[in-house]
Amino acid sequence: MRGFFLYFLYGILMRNFLKLIVGVKFSNQNVLSKHPQFIVVANHNSHVDSVAILSSIPLKQIAKTHPVAAGDYFGNSKIKAFASRIFINALLIPRSRPVDGIGPDPIQMMLELLEKGESLILFPEGSRGEPGVMQRFKKGVGLLLEKYPNIPYIPVYMKGMGKILPKGDNVLVPFNSVAVFGNACYAKSNKAEEIVQEIEQSILALQV
């Protein structure tokens, strides 16, 4: 039932809204249906990024796919946290790892979902940057793939999303934009920093 709800919301309503009204084009999103589990990794300029990716997830996988979001922003109230989990299927994590083992560990939270066979949507830049400018990736995704090299990552290049809903704005503006999905890849290295570099290059290779 949850999968049908999320698919109706994103795969039908939001997908058609983004395509027909906002002007988002999707490319090679069918790659998602070829893998039972994955980590989607994308550059990040707008809250529309998560919606566009969720709108591409197949019905059979959407209930098990979780955008990873900052708990201090999307969970700073009980209502906001509830809405993020119900309507976005988000995993809310702290922005940094705990000091002296006090508090939840975001890496461990993500690993626990992967251990259950769930999939993740990650934006390794951490926060929305300047439209069209990709910031340096944090190494969290590298740590995940260092632990689970058998899980493929799917690179996604987002262009123009920052113009649709710029940081700080609350109104969608139609704009020619694109979400380009690359083919699934497996980490070649077993070191987190090198894995992150691989992912950066695979996303940059999708630029249009």
Least confident of 44-58, 70-84, 127-141, 162-176: 162-176
Total Cβ atoms within 10 A of residue 30: 11
Q: How far apart are CA 177 and CA 74, in angstroms?
A: 25
**Which is it for the CA torsion 79, 84, 89, 92, positive or negative?**
negative
The structural domains of the chain, with segments of one domain joined by +, span 2-204
Q: How far apart are CA 58 and CA 192, in angstroms?
A: 29
Residue type, 196: V
The structure's pTM equals 0.91
Q: What is the pLDDT of residues 138-189, one digit of tens each?
A: 999 999 999 999 999 999 999 988 777 666 666 677 788 999 999 999 999 9
Q: What is the pLDDT of residues 133-149, one digit of tens each?
A: 677 889 999 999 999 99
Query: Alpha carbon of 98 to those of 74, 95, 101, 105, 143: distances in Å?
Result: 19, 10, 5, 6, 16
SS3 123: coil
Give domain 2-204's CATH architecture.
Answer: 3-Layer(aba) Sandwich (3.40)
Q: How far apart are CA 59 and CA 187, in angstroms?
A: 27
Q: How far apart are CA 114 and CA 107, in angstroms?
A: 11
Q: How far apart are CA 93 and CA 95, in angstroms?
A: 6
